[in-house]
């Protein structure tokens, strides 16, 4: 088995709604360290495909890393969604599926912060992980705005009622049903968020819902550092293929400073890694991996945010980007798997 790819065994499947399932996995013995995760992160699963061999898809963890429960993703069927339908139709206790280690940056910096959570439909999955963990290990107050088509489509309805009853001073859940109230618009979302402008906001759901919610938060001048949104696209590449071993080589002194190596300083999980030999044709992720740094990644194609870093100094160019918008780029966020040095010195952080 490749050191970055793991075979997970399904231990339980729970029907959350008519079209959503929670699938719990047993982590392989010896791989426990690889599956230590933060609330809000996701797994990249290898779904078998007759057409492409593998359909790599990212599914958020709904479980909490702090309640001793199994590793769990929650998957909702989508129209013409091959992978989500395959998972709901085929995975049963005893089934196995390949997975990458947990990844993603949609996670709170502090479990003690007051949180404003927005979820639309199955977008509640990473939000639920954050909510469960913050209630169990944090001290902050939490407000959840949860939009769904109708009452039958509310995932985790019973558990949300239970948690709200157990934590009446800390958790307030507001359900918004399209069948009753119509789709929430930007003005309505802004009015709701206006009462919580001092909180850290997390947004996940269908693209129109996220667009309206983020626009509402911008209207209220929510600072970018306190505004988080989760973005997924269907991965075009296959991260489950043969791993490519990157060998960093010296270009030699004759290359000159304009094409010579750059220096790279990266902060990851509280540790600063510094190098002075980042080659111009090597991506940041490749360079860090070659140096033995356990840098996060998922798709390697510029199609997810698992490897995102924030630039503190210098600049990079990205070969491909399907997930960061103009505001992300202006805020210094870049994808390490696509980033090549465009300055002699680059500093970045994974936080």
pLDDT at residue 2 tops 70: no
Is the pLDDT at 230 greater than 90? The verdict is no
Using the predicted structure, report yes or no on whether residue 316 has a pLDDT greater than 50.
Answer: yes
> How many other C-beta atoms are found inside a 10 Å radius of the C-beta of residue 266?
24
pLDDT at 285: 94
**Span 29-76, pLDDT tens digits:** 999 999 999 999 999 999 988 776 788 888 999 999 998 889 999 999
Q: Are strands 171-177 and 96-100 parallel, antiparallel or unpaired?
A: unpaired
Residue 257: pLDDT band (50, 70, 90) is very low
Write out pLDDT tens, residues 120-141. 999 999 999 999 999 999 999 9
The Cα–Cα gap between 142 and 115 comes to 5
Quick check: 250 pLDDT over 80? no
- C-alpha 246/C-alpha 43 separation (Å) is 24
Instruction: Report whether pLDDT(264) > 90.
Output: yes
Q: Which of 157, 135, 136 is nearest to 146 (CA)?
A: 157
pLDDT over 70 (residue 267): yes
Q: pLDDT of 197-219, one tens digit each?
A: 999 999 999 989 999 999 999 99
**Mean pLDDT, the chain, as a whole number?**
89
Quote the percentage of the chain above a pLDDT of 70: 91
CATH second-level architecture of 5-100?
Beta Barrel (2.40)
d(CA 84, CA 86): 5
Name the band, by pLDDT with cuts 50, 70 and 90, for residue 147: very high
> What is d(CA 230, CA 106) in angstroms, rounded to the nearest whole number?
6
Domain ranges of the chain: 5-100, 115-229, 253-349
- Specify the CATH architecture of the domain 253-349: Roll (3.10)
For the domain made up of 115-229, the CATH class stated in words is: alpha beta
In this prediction, residues 1-23 reach a mean pLDDT of: 88
Residue 300 predicted with pLDDT over 90: no
Whether the CB-CB separation of 341 and 334 falls below 8 Å is answered with no
CA atoms within 13 Å, Cβ hemisphere of 190 = 11
pLDDT on residue 140: 96
Q: Are 79 and 149 in contact (CB under 8 A)?
A: no
Give me the pLDDT at residue 241, please.
66
Model's pTM, two decimal places? 0.81
């Amino acid at each position: 088995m490749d050191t970055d790819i793991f075979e997970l065994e399904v231990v339980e499947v729970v029907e959350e709604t008519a079209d959503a399932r929670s699938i719990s996995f047993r982590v392989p013995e010896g791989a426990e360290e690889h599956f230590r995760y933060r609330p809000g992160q996701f797994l990249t699963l290898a779904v078998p495909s007759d057409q492409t061999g593998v359909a790599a898809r990212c599914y958020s963890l709904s479980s909490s890393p702090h309640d001793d429960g199994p590793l769990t993703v929650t998957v909702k069927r989508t129209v013409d969604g091959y992978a989500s339908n395959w998972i709901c139709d085929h995975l049963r206790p005893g089934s196995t599926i390949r997975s990458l280690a947990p990844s993603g940056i949609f996670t709170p910096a502090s479990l003690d912060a007051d949180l404003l959570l927005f979820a639309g439909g199955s977008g509640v999955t990473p939000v639920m992980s954050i909510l469960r963990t913050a209630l169990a290990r944090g001290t902050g107050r939490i407000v959840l705005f949860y939009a769904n088509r109708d009452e039958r489509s509310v995932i985790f309805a019973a558990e949300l009622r239970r948690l709200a009853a157990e934590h009446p001073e800390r958790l307030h859940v507001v359900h918004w049903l399209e069948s009753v109230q119509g789709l929430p618009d930007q003005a309505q979302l802004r009015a709701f968020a206006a009462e919580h402008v001092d909180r850290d906001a997390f947004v996940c759901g269908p693209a129109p819902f996220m667009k309206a919610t983020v626009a509402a938060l911008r209207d209220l001048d929510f600072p970018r550092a306190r505004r988080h949104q989760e973005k997924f696209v269907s991965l075009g590449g296959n991260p489950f293929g043969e791993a490519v071993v990157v060998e960093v080589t010296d270009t030699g002194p004759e290359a000159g400073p304009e094409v010579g190596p750059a220096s790279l300083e990266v902060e990851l999980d509280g540790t600063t890694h510094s190098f002075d030999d980042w080659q111009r044709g090597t991506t940041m992720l490749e360079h860090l991996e070659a140096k033995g740094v356990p840098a996060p990644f998922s798709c390697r194609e510029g199609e997810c945010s698992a490897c995102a870093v924030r630039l503190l100094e210098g600049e990079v160019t990205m070969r491909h980007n399907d997930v960061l918008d103009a505001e992300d780029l202006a805020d210094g966020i870049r994808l390490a798997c696509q980033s090549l040095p465009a300055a002699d010195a680059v500093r970045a952080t994974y936080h």
